[in-house]
Structures are given as C-alpha cells and as structure tokens.
Amino acid sequence: MAEEVKLFRTWSSPYALRIVWALQLKGVQYETVLEDVFEKSELVRRYNPVHKKVPVLLHDGRPIAESLIILEYIDETWKQHPLLPQDPYARAMARFWAQFGDDKVIKSVLTAFLSEGKEQEAALAEASEHLQKLEEELIGKKFFGGDNIGYVDIALGWLANLIRVFEEILSLKVVDCERFPLLFAWLKEFSDAPVIKDCWPPHDKLISKFIALRQLHHEKSSST
Ligand SMILES: N[C@@H](CCC(=O)N[C@@H](CS)C(=O)NCC(=O)O)C(=O)O
C-alpha cells in the first residue's frame, strides 16, 4: 500500500517551504493541504495542539510539527539526497547554524524590515553582524552543505526567499554583493536551483503580503 504523506501549510510560510523543498529534493510524493494562516483548520489544531502552527507533516497517520524537526524526520525516513552530513561533529554544526538562523537572523532581519528610524538602524546593524557570520561559514563552499543543497541551506532558505522582497519594499540593499560576496552568490545559486525555484511563491504576491504586514505593524504600534 502506498504511504500517506500530507503537508499542511500556507502558500507563503517560509517554515513550510523548508518541507516543500526537502520533499522535492528527495523526490517524495505528497499531498498539500493549504491552510489559512488566520484561521487554521481543526486538523492543524489537532495535529499540532501545542503550537497550532504550520507546517505539519502527516506520515501514515502520524503528525510531526516544527519545521527543523520535520526536516530531520524526512532525512531519517527517506535516505536519498541526504540533508545532514554523516559525521557527528558536522551534524552538530549544521544544527547549530540552522538554530542560529531561527534564533537570531530571522529576528533581526524581520525587525529591520518592520521598523523605522533608529530602531531600524539598530536592527540592520545587528542583522549585518549575523549575516557576516553566515558569510564566514560559506568560505570555500558553494552551499552551506558543501557542493549540494543540505539541511542548513534549506533552513536558511527563507533568507533567499524573502530578502529580495524586503529589499524591494524598503528600497535598500541588505545582502549587497560587495559586503557579502559569498552570501550574495549563495542567494543566487540557491534560488536558481530548479527544485527550489519550482516551489517559489509568486514574487508579486509576496510583495503585496509584506507591504500589508508592514502597514499593519505600523498601525498597531502607532495605536499603542
Ligand atoms: N517554529 C515553527 C514556526 C512555524 C510558524 O511560525 N508558522 C506560522 C506560519 S509562517 C504559523 O503557522 N502561524 C500561525 C499562528 O501563529 O497562528 C516552525 O519552525 O515550524
């Protein structure tokens, strides 16, 4: 009997895109269940009762939540195109950088995007510090995973997906090719990889979504 693989996600969730990319890279057949981020279905609430967020992966009736954990599950379940390295130290380092991305980089980049004035300047400076660390991690490598897209590339894929959107809306360059040549090259290599490119959410739709998000954020902060 064919196995059941279902992915609950929204059209633009950067966390859910990780799962889309991993399943595509591994050539796993799956069904997509598109959710509304503001009104998640009863099933998402049941399958992810702690966080009630997407993505959720359902594999033969068993739900898994949290994108980085889902990535590891996928890597252990479908062995083709390994995402994590074999060596325990290299595995630990890959997890370290993925977590750094989620704990530090996302926060500073998002704050830089949503804020203005002094707060934005401070967030941009912090984001640049974090991006510098990623730049150093890319020395001598095409991808964070080496010659091929791996776990860290997928975990940081949101950066490739969203930085151009943020830069276009703010009319400024965050990952500029002179300051971050390796990261700049990585953004292009990663975004141009066919498996990644094929699953990219529409750019114009992302622009509209993030303009609206920025407006909402400003309305909220001016009313408090
Ligand atoms: N740490 C989670 C974050 C997931 C997340 O924030 N998902 C968002 C969509 S991008 C969500 O479901 N938001 C709905 C909500 O917060 O109610 C992961 O890595 O899966």
How far does residue 86's CA lie from ligand 1's centre (Å)?
29
**Ligand 1 nearest atom to the CA of residue 44, by list position:** 12
Please tell me the predicted confidence (pLDDT) of residue 194.
93
pLDDT for 220 equals 86
Nearest Cα residue to atom 6 of ligand 1: 53
Side chain identity at 172, as an amino acid letter? L
End-to-end alpha-carbon separation of the chain, Å? 56
Cβ of 101 below 6 Å from ligand 1: no
pLDDT tens for residues 99-158? 999 999 999 999 999 999 999 999 999 999 999 999 999 999 999 999 999 999 999 999
User: Where do the domains of the chain lie, and which CATH numbers do they carry?
Assistant: 5-77 (3.40.30.10), 88-220 (1.20.1050.10)
Would you state the pLDDT for residue 135?
A: 98
Q: Which residues of the chain have pLDDT under 70?
A: 1
Number of H helices, E strands in the chain: 11, 4
Bridge-based pairing state of the strands 31-34 and 56-59 = unpaired
Q: Which of these, 15, 14, 26, 13, lies nearest to 5 by C-alpha position?
A: 26
pLDDT at residue 167, as a whole number: 97
CA 159 to ligand 1 centroid distance, Å: 16
pLDDT recorded at residue 2: 82
Is the distance from the beta carbon of residue 137 to the nearest atom of ligand 1 less than 6 Å? Answer: no
Mutational test site, ligand 1, from 21, 39, 54, 69, max ligand atoms within 8 Å of CB: 54
CA of 7 to the centre of ligand 1 (A): 14
pLDDT at 221: 83
Which ligand 1 atom is the nearest neighbour of the CA of 13? 10
For 6-38, b/e burial (b = at least 16 CB within 10 A) is: bbbbbbbbbbbbbbbbbbbbbebebeeeebeee
Between the CA of 19 and the centroid of ligand 1 the distance, in Å, is 13
